[in-house]
Structure formats: C-alpha cells, structure tokens
Amino acid sequence: MSGGSIHVRHITDADWDAIAAMESRTYAELGLSEGRAALQSRAYASPDTCFVLDVGSQPAGYLLALPYPPFRYPNLERAEEPAVLSRTPRNLHLHDIVVAERLRGRGLGQRLLNHLTLTAGSRGFERISLIAVGCSEPFWSARGFRAHPGISPGGYGANAVYMSKAMADSTKRVDVRVPCP
C-alpha cells in the first residue's frame, strides 16, 4: 500500500479535526453524525480503548470503544455521561470505526478491529458489542458478531442491529470482505 507506514495509536487533541471530518463524511448521509463534542466525550470517557490509524503521518481512520453494560449503548443525541459507563468492565462497546474513503477495502478496518480485540483481551473484557448500521450487519457477522434481535437500538436508524461476540471467539483473526449492495 502506498502512502507510508501504518500505525495504530491513542487519540490526541490534534486528531479531532480529522476524526470529526471522517465521521461526518461517513455518517451524515445516514442521519447518524454525532458531531465533534459527542465524539470527544466518548474518547475522553475511555481513552485507553480509542485509537487513530495513521497512514504515513496522517490520520486515516479511527475507532471509539467504551465499557458499557451489555445491551446498552451511547445515545447519539448527547455527549457521554461517565456515570453510564460500566463499573465492572466485562463488555466493551465498539461505538464507531471509520477508515477514510480513499483507503477502504484494504484491510485497515480489520487492523483497527484486531488492535481493539488485543486491547480488550489484555484489559479483561469478556465481550465486545456494537450496533451495525446501514448495511454493515453482514460485515460484522463475517467477523463473528451475532445479532440480538430482541434489542432495538433507538436513534441508530431503521435497520440498526445490536450485535456482540465473546472474547473467546475473538482470538481468530479473519480478513473477510463482504460486499455491501
């Protein structure tokens, strides 16, 4: 891949312009863009589980994950409230993962997910949960996440699906590309 080295690291204050721009380009059309303040509040709530992907010296993707009780998730309409976060970190909620448009389809999202999985395992999390939006459920299913049909994630769009997988299922690395119609 041209463009230099690839590195996953923790988010710094200098990254927020790039993160907010990537998030807006990815989610505004779906009506799911949260804005910079909400994104920052999520990263500040759990800085050890939120990352930037650099290609060369430029942010080219990011991932936000925070401890949440199973079957609960951030409210897109407001900033994170630390009291909501799980005191006993058993479930890590993957709130957002984005790779810059020009670099999609090259395995960089999987690289971020692998980094999160290693981090979650080293910190004693038992599960990783997420909400699949748009047409991303097949993508997440291919990576071992299973849907919980009884959970209806309000505010995440009509076809949003709450999904999770046990960390025991996360030790296998996969790089499956599922086309989205």
pLDDT in tens, 18-32: 999 999 999 999 899
Residue 121: pLDDT over 60: yes
| pLDDT at residue 81, rounded to an integer | 76
Say what the pLDDT of residue 179 is. 40
64-97 tens-digit pLDDT: 999 999 999 999 988 987 655 556 669 999 999 9
Helix axes 36-45, 16-27, angle to 10 degrees: 120
What does the CA dihedral 48, 115, 95, 181 come to, rounded to 10 degrees? 170
Using one digit for the tens of pLDDT, what is the confidence trace for 131-147? 999 889 999 999 999 99
6-170 sits in which CATH class? alpha beta
**Which whole-number Å values give the CA distances from 130 to 1, 6, 15, 27, in the listed order?**
29, 25, 23, 16
pLDDT of residue 13: 96
Nearest to 43 by CA among 23, 58, 29, 27: 23
